[in-house]
Amino acid sequence: MSNSGYPEGIDCVWLASDQDGHIGAFMTGGIGPIPKRGLCSDIMPLEDIEGLICDMPIVSEVRLLISVKRPDDIIDLAKRGVFVYDWTDLHRTAREAIDAYEKIAIPTRPIKSGMLSTQLNPIARVLRFSNVKFVDKITLDVRAHLNCCESQESC
């Protein structure tokens, strides 16, 4: 996967920090918007982010907000203290679609960006929602806060 274009059809994870320094992991479902600074950056390829998060120590219990057939990946991320969001339109009908990321798992002990590994910390500093608190946001339209690249779009 290249850092220069949208990873079409690949369910990858990108991360960002909020105004309090908490970390959110965003699962694209292969179609959700990704901030351009995350795609065009030489900081780290998207395909490495989920593995590096899961290499971090388990620090939290998890509260799942939705029921999914295989929640293992979601739980693994949230156990590391990150809020987990998923692209909602992937699992909804056209009538239900809300065109945003939806919070699907909450860590009971959320971490802050300073607790990330040296590889992940620069990403959280670059991709920051300055007017958002993950603790309060059930759904998040990332395009309203960051310049994003979309599926089927040249970035």
Would you say residue 5 lies in a domain?
no
Indicate whether 6 belongs to any domain: no
Tell me the per-residue pLDDT of 80-126, one tens digit each, with 9 for 90 and over: 999 999 997 555 544 445 789 999 999 999 999 999 999 899 888 88
Q: Which domain holds residue 35?
A: 13-148
Does 8 or 56 have the greater pLDDT score?
A: 56
Band of pLDDT at residue 37, cut at 50, 70 and 90: confident
**Least trusted range by pLDDT, from 14-18, 37-41, 49-53, 129-133:** 37-41
User: Per the domain annotation, does 153 fall within a domain?
Assistant: no
Selected residue with higher pLDDT from 128 and 67: 128
Calculate what percentage of the chain has a pLDDT beyond 70: 85
**102 in a structural domain:** yes
The string of pLDDT tens digits covering residues 40-62 is 656 667 888 999 999 999 999 99
In a domain, 1, yes or no: no
Assess if residue 21 is contained within a domain. yes
CB environment 54-64: b (16+ within 10 A), e (fewer) = eebeeebebee
* pTM above threshold 0.85: yes
> Total structural domains in the chain?
1
- Amino acid 44: pLDDT: 67
| Structural domain includes residue 7 | no
Domain assignment present for residue 8? The answer is no
- What rounded mean pLDDT belongs to the chain? 87
